[in-house]
Structure 1
Amino acid sequence: MKWLNYFLNFNIPFYIYKLNTHDSIILSHKIKMNQPMIILYGIVYIIKNFYNDKKTTIAILETNNILYINKIKEKNCHYKIIAISKSFLISFQWKNLININKSFNDLIFKEIIKLYIKTNKKYEMMNIIMSHKYIKNRVIQLLLFFARDFGSMHKKKITICYYISQNTIGTISGSTRTTVNRILKHLTYNKYIEYSIDKKIILNINYFGIHYIKKSKYKH
């Protein structure tokens, strides 16, 4: 783990969070935490929860993405970082980087800029997913995202390497487990997807094309 080695070698204070699947970290205006976190290992997603029960997913992040939420001033919402798989996050303070050796300072900030560029693409992808009006299209786009970033291809089939529950798909897409279940049954019946023995989703690329995205009756 490159970042852990950096911090240890240069005596930079840090804290490591370990999240098992479905564990979460909650950030709100009541919690004075204003530190960036680098994902050392794993996959998490970030939900913005409003106190009127409205919520929206703002990103799905993975190893070597950086998570930085500025001091939260809004009192009507909080952020929730939820682990899709076992994950390790390392947090630190910017001021501790400024005081280190200049040559290393330049190196680490260049590396952090790379993390921000890579992470920004994840936010852009989530904006694309959530821009779909119909839930069915959001779910399909989400499956394509998981297949692209976390999939393993074999004989024209892509297996998403992590088990993704219907509840998780529903939460990320802004829907319910019941609606997601209907959509996945429809995709299974039409051979767009199937399941492995350990319930991982497999996309059949012979059937599952990008041009499949179209209007759907699943609006909720």
Structure 2
Amino acid sequence: MLYPDDHNIYIIIQGIMIQNKLFSNHEKFSSDLIYTGHIIQEIFQKGRSYNYCYEFTPLVNSYIISIPHQLNHLYRHHIQTYCNIHKSSQINLLSLWIHKNIRNRILHLFLLLCEITGRSYNKSLILDIKLSYKLIATITGSTRNTVSHIIKQLENDHIIQYTQKYIIIHNIFILNTYTSNRMI
């Protein structure tokens, strides 16, 4: 959890995480997909009041370095150099919301995850991530039951193979065209 009064710097040394806004009414909104090289700093503006904090959900084993805000000035040059090396270590999940259809949001999420963690295996892509139905529902603004139904449909159509430890996408091109050809 990252609260408004936390001014430390956090660097993701290795891993992939979902950055969620956790509101005071216990609602959760997934804002970003962050991964190796991402630096979390000055996420809250000083002097403002917030009704949320940030929660980070790892999709794989993740390692983070925390630098206390009192030592920021000592590491500023190293952090800037690190930022220049790892410029693209964040994907904004708001792009999922251009889709009205939940199935298309889920497919879009899978395509985004392919960019980060997809590895080729026998003409398929394997996403080595732990992604529960509940987490997919949170990210896409859906319910666990809807996600379960859509994933089962994708499995029945031989588009993906889903387990809680990994997802196999049998053909990325079919997955990509599946969004425009089929409606729920």
Which bracket does the TM-score occupy, shorter chain normalised?
0.7 to 0.9
Q: 2:11 aligns with which of 28, 38, 41?
A: 38
Whether contact under 8 Å (1:39, 1:64) holds in the other structure is: yes
Q: 1:110 aligns with which of 62, 65, 81?
A: 81
3-state DSSP of counterpart to 1:172: helix
Task: Return the offset for 1:74.
Answer: 3.5
Q: How does 1:48-63 map to 2 (within 5 A)?
A: 48-63=21-36
Task: Return the offset for 1:91.
Answer: 1.6
Write the distance in 2 (CA, Å) between the matches of 1:110 and 1:94: 18
Change (3 A) 1:174 1:153: same
> Is residue 193 from structure 1 mapped to residue 160 from structure 2 by the alignment?
yes
- Post-superposition CA distance 1:146-195 (Å, at most 9, x none): 22211221222111112321122112112121110000011011111124
Change (3 A) 1:54 1:200: same
Counterpart amino acid of residue 210 in structure 1: N
Write the distance in 2 (CA, Å) between the matches of 1:36 and 1:131: 32
Task: Return the offset for 1:112.
Answer: 2.1
> Is residue 149 from structure 1 mapped to residue 116 from structure 2 by the alignment?
yes
Task: Return the offset for 1:132.
Answer: 1.9
Partner of 1:13: none
Write the distance in 1 (CA, Å) between the matches of 2:175 and 2:9: 38
Change (3 A) 1:76 1:193: same
Change (3 A) 1:213 1:98: same
Q: How does 1:24-35 map to 2 (within 5 A)?
A: 26-29=1-4, 32-35=5-8
Partner of 2:178: 212
Q: 2:44 aligns with which of 67, 70, 76?
A: 70
CA RMSD, 1 decimal: 2.6
Q: Given the two structures, how large is their TM-score scaled by the length of structure 2? A: 0.83
3-state DSSP of counterpart to 1:78: strand
Change (3 A) 1:108 1:200: closer
Matched residue pairs, number? 181
Which segments of 5 or more consecutive residues in structure 1 lack a partner in the other structure? 1-25
Partner of 1:119: 89
Whether contact under 8 Å (1:34, 1:71) holds in the other structure is: no
3-state DSSP of counterpart to 1:59: strand
Task: Return the offset for 1:51.
Answer: 3.0
Whether contact under 8 Å (2:19, 2:30) holds in the other structure is: yes
Partner of 1:18: none
Task: Return the offset for 1:99.
Answer: 4.0
Q: Which moved more, 1:172-181 or 1:84-93?
A: 84-93
Write the distance in 2 (CA, Å) between the matches of 1:152 and 1:213: 22
- Post-superposition CA distance 1:6-63 (Å, at most 9, x none): xxxxxxxxxxxxxxxxxxxx2234xx21122111122211111223444321111112
Q: 1:135 aligns with which of 98, 102, 125?
A: 102
Which segments of 5 or more consecutive residues in structure 2 lack a partner in the other structure? none
Higher Cα radius of gyration: 1
Counterpart amino acid of residue 119 in structure 1: S
Q: Given the two structures, how large is their TM-score scaled by the length of structure 1? A: 0.71
Whether contact under 8 Å (1:47, 1:55) holds in the other structure is: yes
Write the distance in 2 (CA, Å) between the matches of 1:99 and 1:84: 31
